[in-house]
Amino acid sequence: MGIYLEGTFTYLVDVEEKYFPYVIEWRNNPENNRFLNQPFLLTMEKQRAWYEKYRADDTQGLLMMIAKDGDIPFGTNGWTDYDPYEKHCISGRILVGDYRYRGSVELVEGMLLHLRYLYETLGVERDYSHVVVENKKSQSHNKRLGFRKSDGEIKFPHELFVNGMHQVEMVRDRVGYRRAEAYLSSLLDVFIREKESMGGRSS
């Protein structure tokens, strides 16, 4: 059985074929694609070929974020390069394909579930992120989530220039994890209080 992480508003599941149309549509959207590591048009054939390799690879994960209200897939997150001995991975694959869920309680909870899975279930001590140099918004967002720019040896130098895009490596450790968990938990609490006061959906 694949990964299943359940929250109050959101659940995360391992990607499977029934979700391919969502992934393909989201990743081919020009607004999303400009900062993605995908210099081609994603097709069902390419997605299935990727999936065959993915299922045999225990170093990576791709999770679908599903809103429990309506059972609506709205985005993805995940990781690559997981090493259980060095206890690290590259986290990412974060994509909000359904724009109604940007800045939503469902998204915040999905990010929190993913973060806790990395550190509490997979047991990572450090996770890395690679952000396009020009994408200052994502760099700032990562800092709020406990990342800092790598100030020593670059762990994944091959990620610094991908498909014509220069990227910066950022790293988060256990201290950063606790900061990120506290930040996301506080956001989630705010959303819940707003939801209770309004008596309706907050996204």
pLDDT per residue rounded down to tens, the chain (203 residues): 489 999 999 999 999 999 999 999 999 887 766 656 666 789 999 999 999 999 999 999 999 999 999 999 999 999 999 999 999 999 988 999 999 999 999 999 999 999 999 999 999 999 999 998 988 888 999 999 999 999 888 999 999 998 788 999 999 999 999 999 999 999 999 998 987 888 655 44
pTM, rounded to two decimals: 0.90
Render the chain in DSSP notation, one character per residue. ---EEE-SSEEEEE--GGGHHHHHHHHH-HHHHTTSS--S---HHHHHHHHHHHHT-TT-EEEEEEETTTTEEEEEEEEEEEETTTTEEEEEEEEE-SGGGTT-HHHHHHHHHHHHIIIIIS--SEEEEEEETT-HHHHHHHHHTT-EE--SS-S-GGGSEETTEEEEEEEEEHHHHHHHHHHHHHHHHHHHHHHHHHTS---
